[in-house]
Structure 1
Amino acid sequence: MSDFPADLVDFSAARVLVVGDVMLDRFVYGDVQRISPEAPIPVIRAERELAMPGGAGNVARNIAALGARATLIGLVGDDTAADLLNDVLAAEPGIEARLVVDETRPTIEKSRFIGSRQQLLRVDRETSRAPADDSLATLIAAAIDALADCSVLVLSDYAKGVMAPSVVTKLVAAAAKAGKPVLVDPKGSDFSRYRGATLVTPNLAEARLASGMACDDDAGVVAAGRRLQADSGLAGILITRGAAGMTLLQGDAAPMHLPAEAREVFDVSGAGDTVVATIAAALAAGRSLPQAAHLANVAAGIVVGKIGTAVVLPEELRVALHMPDPHSFAAKVATRQQARARVDLWRAHGERIGFTNGVFDLLHPGHLALLSEVRSQCDRLIVAINADASVKKLKGPQRPVQDEDHRAQLLAALGMVDLVVVFEEDTPIPLLELLQPDLLVKGGDYTVDQVVGADVVRGYGGEVRVSKLVAGQSTTATISRLRG
């Protein structure tokens, strides 16, 4: 996949319509230090709460995170949860929400309680009551109206009532009339209600249930998929298979098996939303279905490496596509936005991020001592180096001895270094403001207050330290000794 062009990940012109079961996801985070005296259950001391769009709302959120624009249509109740959901959707750039109020049903809520990075309890607030007929009619009308400005329709079915057979049939027909593809994230055992869809994206368990077949290996998955295509009138099917990757069946074309991209799996929640969102954004941007499937496979590998219901950023896709080995030297040298994407991923894992900066012209034992000291105090170490033009201003026209590319590569080759970023400015302050590391360490005879950027780091609650240099070790001294 390293031969994919960079513009394959440009979704800025994509417009996607998402219709389905919209929910409000709440997350309560806290610390667990004792067991309740009332029952053998942990007590969470709540420290922070987070609300975000769930269900079809998370599909829209994933589409917007990729740089596309999403129009979201679904049902909510006449309640405070709907007010909060509208607020969080309004705060998500790239999403236009057109939610229909159904006074006969509450807004669907899922509250998760997480202690010490482990989900301990989920509380659902929902009803099995079917939506009111007039609410569904209003939703259908709103969706058909919005379809005119979108290139792809996504039906996000969580079996909560919005994706009633009459709704699916009318929306698939409207999209077919407009010549626009329909993607379905399905539920249940009867895929025939999605007849006419361009692509259905079940996971392995859903494919087994709907087909009644084992799906134990590639051949079994293909057989089940072909049966679903034939019996349910589906143009294509993408079966997500967890650690076995994905299988794409498109019309009569040969099956495409995509190996799993994930290196570490932390949380699979929301991965299906990421898959359908990535395919939708890619198709809306003019990519082919095989290209879209490749991108979705890479995106799924990224999102399961995050904790909670997460999204994938374009820069993360670019890094994964063009730097397939995250431990290679090249993968460690990053642009600012690539660095930000990598930091967001590390932070989602709860890792402590350290930062140091300098010229690092000729590596010597003093440099190694500094880097080793910083790395011992954090989980990830970012080294920012001055660009060549900046070095000449600081050190004179004869420096640097090594250009910025070679300096970056040498640092990236060190196992203790996780990321190298070149900065053009005279100081690393803009980079510190962007990345917000937990720890800033500078080597030299300074006080903490004299460290450039210390006020920035301490301003957002980070820590600043000074490391003493190794006596007699400096690039200037090394150059002097070489000159005799």
Structure 2
Amino acid sequence: MIQLSQIRKKSILVIGDVMLDDYCMGDIKRISPEAPVPVFRKKTERSVLGGAANVAANLVAANQKVSMMSIIGNDDSGRRLLEYFKEKGINTDLVQILDRNTTVKTRFLASNNQQVLRLDVEDTSPIPENICKEMLNRLEGEIDSYHFILLSDYLKGLFTYDFTQGILKLCRKHNIPAIIDVKDTHVEKYYGAFLLKPNLKEIRDLTGMPARTDEEIIEAAQTLCKQCDCKFVLCTCGARGMVLVGENHSPFFIASEGKDVFDVSGAGDTTIAYLAAAMANGVNMNDAVSIANYAAGIQVGKVGTSSVYMQEVRDFLANEDNGTFHKILYPQDVEVFRHNNKNKKIVFTNGCFDILHVGHKRYLQLAATLGDILVIGVNSDDSVRRLKGPDRPVNLERDRAEMLCALSFIDYVIVFGEDTPYELIKKIQPDVIVKGGDYKLENVVGRDVVEARGGRVEIIPFVDGKSTTNIINKINKKLK
């Protein structure tokens, strides 16, 4: 289940090639009399952060605390970049000002936002060895203040082999995950990263493998994983979506979410920014990739390089699944949940809900009538194994939670890892605890908690013959 509410503010350092993306909007209505070329008449212009700077801007939009490490020129464009960083609250203490051109990409957009020309001003010469050492020394002094480090390589001279390997060695030494949006074809440069994010062209260049079919993409990603001794490779496949491959991790394919594609500029930046925000907060890898995929789907629906805000992702998920993603409640959110619902009657029940059946549906539907909000506690996979045996659960906790979220009369679902929900009940402080007909009132866990605040326990009869165990036994009998 997607865990957006789990994403809180973490300190993330972005290291990468920064640039300005300038946009000139206008129209073309005639051909030049001087040469057979169209005449572009500029009407308006705007500037936004590009490259690694756009990654940082998207992390800010994802509600993260962001610092930037990069090089810029001692020129007007460099000063503009610093102003934009300041406006967004991005820390620039680790930005080096050098005697070189700041990278600027100027795009000319005509009617219907059609890009007719791009003009680049840049300096791609590698950073000098003394600058490399100076930046690594500064990073070593600051590295423990970051939860996560993201490298965005645009091949503009910052990521020499020595600088890249110096960063990765520091990250491993301090046990800080480092993920990289790759561009270089020299695979040894990226050795030791936690995760690499190539696109199809890049993974082909890095591995020398075809990576055309799904099976070939997986094979190439697994090869890259081994070559670079990294935990994961996330390969973005354009309109086909993304695939995550990792050490002891089953390949995870996810289809592209872009419904209306206006401009793919910055989609990769948005992807890795939201991936980093999710990973820094401990979101499981498949969900982190899903969140990044949704954010990228929003990005390609915009014109030009721009930020995707966390609320946009929330709204997108709400529209995609009628809001059921918002039904997941996480332990760290319980206090806020209680405050927001302090004047409502909260009903609580719990169970494994391994195979959802009509007995569950009727029981929970009746429970929902006993108050204003129905909260379901779901035993985690480990908890179910301890209670039911090594062959259970049949369905994983995220699947069981998602099925419950799909029931309209359920308001919140929370997964707990203990064998009983007692600690969870103490946190939620429900007004009513509901249990099935096989329970006796004196044996209901949490009864003391609810009665101490004037609440009560309700025992609801089960539907005869309807249970997960009976279903499993029936299936096993037919299979014999």
1:111 equivalent among 106, 115, 127: 106
Match of 2:88, SS state, is: coil
Aligned AA (1:126): E
Match of 2:159, SS state, is: coil
Deviations 1:139-179 (A, max 9, x none): 22333333222111111111111111111111111111111
2:394 is aligned to none
Q: Does 1:259 align with 2:255?
A: yes
Q: Which has the higher mean CA deviation after the structures are superposed, 310-319 or 36-45?
A: 36-45
Residues 97 and 290 (structure 1), Cα distance of their counterparts in 2 relative to 1, 3 Å cut? farther
1:88 equivalent among 84, 90, 110: 84
Q: Does 1:246 align with 2:262?
A: no
CA contact (8 A) 1:182 1:198 kept: yes
2:304 equivalent among 284, 301, 308: 308
Residues 5 and 235 (structure 1), Cα distance of their counterparts in 2 relative to 1, 3 Å cut? closer
| Partner Cα separation in structure 2 for residue 149 and residue 36 of structure 1 | 56
2:283 is aligned to 287
Q: Does 1:317 align with 2:313?
A: yes
What is the deviation of 1:75? 0.6
What is the deviation of 1:288? 2.2
Deviations 1:319-358 (A, max 9, x none): 2223216xx7x89xxxxxxxxxxxxxxxxxxxxxxxxxxx
CA contact (8 A) 1:15 1:281 kept: no
Aligned AA (2:266): G
Match of 1:305, SS state, is: coil
1:211 is aligned to 207
Aligned AA (1:114): L
Q: Does 1:34 align with 2:30?
A: yes
Aligned AA (1:274): T
1:346 is aligned to none
TM-score (norm 2): 0.64
CA contact (8 A) 1:19 1:156 kept: yes
Aligned AA (1:20): G
Deviations 1:26-72 (A, max 9, x none): 11112322222222222222222212221111110111111112101
Deviations 1:109-128 (A, max 9, x none): 11111122111111111224
CA contact (8 A) 2:194 2:232 kept: yes
Identity of aligned residues (%): 34
Q: Within 5 A, what are the aligned runs for 1:63-74?
A: 63-74=59-70
Residues 35 and 98 (structure 1), Cα distance of their counterparts in 2 relative to 1, 3 Å cut? farther
Match of 1:127, SS state, is: coil
Aligned AA (1:179): N
Aligned AA (2:96): V
Q: Does 1:134 align with 2:133?
A: no
Deviations 1:81-109 (A, max 9, x none): 11111112211235546320122x22111
Aligned AA (1:109): V
| Partner Cα separation in structure 1 for residue 93 and residue 149 of structure 2 | 15
What is the deviation of 1:219? 0.6
CA contact (8 A) 1:67 1:94 kept: no
| Partner Cα separation in structure 2 for residue 16 and residue 224 of structure 1 | 29
| Partner Cα separation in structure 2 for residue 88 and residue 211 of structure 1 | 38
CA contact (8 A) 1:102 1:131 kept: no
Match of 1:99, SS state, is: strand
Q: Does 1:275 align with 2:296?
A: no
| Partner Cα separation in structure 2 for residue 145 and residue 51 of structure 1 | 33
CA contact (8 A) 2:3 2:283 kept: no
Q: Does 1:200 align with 2:200?
A: no
Aligned AA (1:120): V
Aligned AA (2:203): A
CA contact (8 A) 1:19 1:143 kept: no
Match of 2:184, SS state, is: coil
| Partner Cα separation in structure 2 for residue 252 and residue 6 of structure 1 | 25
Q: Which has the higher mean CA deviation after the structures are superposed, 89-98 or 127-136?
A: 89-98
> Any unmatched runs of 5+ in structure 1?
332-484
Q: Within 5 A, what are the aligned runs for 1:14-413?
A: 14-96=10-92, 98-103=94-99, 105-116=100-111, 117-324=113-320
| Partner Cα separation in structure 1 for residue 319 and residue 166 of structure 2 | 43
| Partner Cα separation in structure 2 for residue 5 and residue 106 of structure 1 | 42
Q: Does 1:7 align with 2:2?
A: no
Aligned AA (1:111): T
| Partner Cα separation in structure 2 for residue 50 and residue 195 of structure 1 | 38
Match of 1:249, SS state, is: strand
| Partner Cα separation in structure 1 for residue 191 and residue 220 of structure 2 | 16
Deviations 1:460-479 (A, max 9, x none): xxxxxxxxxxxxxxxxxxxx
